[in-house]
Structure 1
Amino acid sequence: MCNVAVDILKASTTHTPNRAFTLFVPSSLRLLPLYMLSMMKSIGFRAGGGSRWDDRAYFLGLCKTLPTEYLMQIFYPDLYPIHTIEDKSQVIQDGEDELHIPQRVHLSFQHIDSHGAYVMDACEYIYIYIGKAISDHFVQNVFNVQTFSALRTDLYSLPELENSLSIKIHNFLSYLTQSRPHGVAIHILREDSPNRHLFTRHLVDDKSESTMSYVEFLRYVRDQIVN
């Protein structure tokens, strides 16, 4: 799959002789390395024995049937910090109501803070990741518990509470899912959950034991093209 990315970009990329490391990639292909790397790290295509055959078969079935916009989201989910939804979000009018949309961040631990809470929209699943140092104010107003330690390890629904923060988060989740042609499952994960890998495996910008980071992959592709 690495070679496919290199061949496609090599056929459509130019570089100046006196600046061998400057590549000019068509705008339509600039995200190709990102999605190729995401595919290589996905359940369906990653090397090694870390995935069950049933999971691989299901994933490959999705690749054949899902519309492109949803398939891209499975490979590279949308990640939003929701602990700042009241302070740092885009506000748009939704009829008579205001809809608060947090700014998307890259899929990297660089953007994950133990003091934060994050929504990852992976098309079929929405993961809500709660950092272990999240404020008591947040868990009280969103989960109706007093502290992080009182939050159950894994939850599959978000309580609807009569306060501003809870309403903003529920409205945002509805905004993400309202146009989906299929149902979306919610999985809420604490930072110390044994299932936290369901969230962290999607942080494809980072390096893992067997795969390159996005920056390393870009360098690899560039070197293959210019050499």
Structure 2
Amino acid sequence: MDCGNVFYLWVGKCCSETFIRDVLGCPNYASIPPNMSHVPQLQTPLSERVRAFLDWLQDNRAFSSTVHVIKDDAAAKATLFQHLVEDRSESASSYQDFLQHIQQQVSK
């Protein structure tokens, strides 16, 4: 999530160990530090893609933003969730409308 001055990377309990190892440099979910504030530069294709995306986001702003890795069971999860806002306009559906649409399509 890009919040302007901070990037949040939320890692759920069911996140693949491949992603955790190749992007975060940790062997498994439990070993991710609770206050991880960077994404390490690792020599894996997945790490290079994530780093390229973060670098692209950084290049498109006038100031540097920090990265916070938030685990699903971390206290900082509340900070992340307060930034989640439903952005609804007349041309866009709400999440509930989207789920209803999917259910209708599956039921056909």
TM superposition score normalised by structure 1: 0.37
1:179 CA drift (Å): 2.4
Q: Specify which of 26, 39, 45 is matched with residue 145 of structure 1.
A: 26
Deviations 1:3-35 (A, max 9, x none): xxxxxxxxxxxxxxxxxxxxxxxxxxxxxxxxx
8 Å CA contact 1:156, 1:188 repeated in 2: yes
Instruction: Tell me which residue corresponds to 1:191.
Output: 72
Give the match's secondary structure for 1:121.
coil
Alignment partners' CA distance in 2, 1:165 and 1:135? 12
Q: Is the 8 A contact 1:154 1:187 kept in 2?
A: yes
2:59 equivalent in structure 1? 178
What amino acid maps onto 2:11 in structure 1? I
Runs of 4+ deviating beyond 2 Å: none
Q: 1 CA distance for matches of 2:9 and 2:54? A: 10
Letter aligned with residue 198 of structure 1: T
Q: Which runs of 5+ in 2 are unaligned?
A: 88-93, 97-108
Give the C-alpha shift of residue 214 in structure 1.
8.5
User: Once the two structures are aligned, what percentage of the paired residues are identical?
Assistant: 27
- Which structure has more relative contact order (CA 8 Å, sep 6+)? It is 2
Runs of 5+ unmatched residues, structure 1: 1-119, 207-212, 216-227
SS in 1 for 2:68: strand
User: Which amino acid is 2:18 matched to?
Assistant: H
SS in 1 for 2:21: helix
Larger Rg: 1
| Structure with more strand by fraction | 1
